[in-house]
Amino acid sequence: MSCVHSKLRSISSGAIAAAIGISLSMGAMAQESPRLRTPRNLSTGLNQHPRLPVSATTTAGNPNTAQGPGPAPIGPGPGCDVFPAPASIGTAVGLSYFGPPPSTVNQSLVGPVQLLNSGQIDVTNGTITIPLYLGHMLGGQNVWYILTDVDNPSVAAELGLNFSAKMSFMGNAVRTANIDANADLVFNAGTVDFSPVRSVTPGPAGSEFPPTAFQPGAVGDSAYSPFIQIANAGNVIYNAPIVAYNVSASAINFPNGNVDYSMVHDEVVAIDPINMTVTIQLINGFSFGRPVWYMSMDASIPLAASIEHNTFAPLMANLHLGDDDSFSSPIERIFLATNGAETGGCNNPLRQGLSADLADGARPNNVLGGIPTLALDYSPAWDANLYQWTAAAIASGYRGQLREEFNILTFVQDGLLTGPGGAPFGSAGFSINCPIVIRLN
């Protein structure tokens, strides 16, 4: 592992370009002390969420060297908060006069829908608390992990996980496990070192992406992928990211926050190995115009893992990219602006993109493809499609915040967007493990 770290510790943007054609990845956040509160009723909380004052500080310190998950998805100002306004805005009656959202009757209709149902969402803090699992490697080392998605619909319904049919085609990027006599998972391979210190060095102001150097805060070995296949349980494939490795329960007992990120995944806000729960930070995004919150757990390249505050998972590189929605495709697309609007930071309602992310530390408001309730093609493995606004589009004042896949594809067709550096638009050659958690509207 130390050899891997030395290779990753300060990689230039030129090296990135040589490796993948152009530098790439998603958002970054800065560390913030978690404020754990009692989760509210989901539909009540969604209707009553107050937008924070625009004057509030986005991050403390340098967001590009901070450890941990950073600020919650409810940011200061409309550029960093996708939470929908209550239906009572602009009416002469109070919120109590409005009935439940239509999504309570039919999940395809407008309104909030919790998709990952294995835990409870804290709407105030933008987190979810879900079960923590303990398995072991063949050598006996402790493997602390979570479950978020599965390729079997019956198992998904039973455990409250996301169902993804596409995960059945992940066989070349999974690690394997078996259930032992104690009903625990025993993994054949795949370890993670959480000791590296995460850092990202942005490019110059106005062109912060690509960064000039970066270091992931967690690095998996060559056999690590978050996706596992349980050989003696029907070969079902699960999304099971590791959140701590080869440590005892007492070493990672942080039920009230103040997590030691040299031992625990950076997206963890609190971890309780006594009661077997873990609280994960959620992230803003959009799917077909609907605001969503999701997790970010792993990435197939070091740059993405560095910016995303997640784990570099080398085995994910085996996933076949670029053929979204075709037979045997294991992925769905995610769309990332490289040079979206960033002036004014979170005050700017059009704020979006990787340069904005590296400039102010808040998330880049990425656009996801299909998610459950909106489409059938959901996968937690997102094929990153980076896009760049052309100079002509920017000069004409066309640059803004995009929220919908086919809107982006139409702008590509119309010549307003290209791939990074003017390259053809398409897969950027890496993927990110981002389980969907909730559709907010």
DSSP character string of 197-225: --EEE--STT---S-SEEE-SEEE-TT--
Domain ranges of the chain: 2-29+63-83+112-439
81-133 residue pLDDT tens = 999 998 899 999 888 888 889 999 999 999 999 999 999 999 999 999 999 99
Stated as kind and residue range, the H or E segment containing 244 is strand 242-245
pLDDT in tens, 367-395: 999 999 999 999 999 999 999 999 999 99
CA distance 179 to 98: 49
In one letter, which amino acid is 360? D
| pLDDT tens by residue, the chain, 441 residues | 434 333 333 333 333 333 333 333 333 333 333 333 333 345 445 545 544 443 333 345 799 999 999 788 999 999 999 999 988 999 998 888 888 899 999 999 999 999 999 999 999 999 999 999 999 999 999 999 999 999 999 999 999 999 999 999 999 999 999 999 999 999 999 999 999 999 999 999 999 999 999 999 999 999 999 999 999 999 999 999 999 999 999 999 999 999 999 999 999 999 999 999 999 999 999 999 999 999 999 999 999 999 999 999 999 999 999 999 899 999 999 999 999 999 999 999 999 999 999 999 999 999 999 999 999 999 999 999 999 999 999 999 999 999 999 999 999 999 999 999 999 999 999 999 999 999 999
In angstroms, what CA-CA distances link 305 with 73, 143, 267? Answer: 18, 20, 11
- Alpha-carbon distance 370 to 306, whole Å? 25
Q: Model pTM?
A: 0.89
Q: How many CB atoms lie within 10 A of CB 155?
A: 16
Q: Look at strands 366-368 and 283-287 and give their pairing.
A: parallel
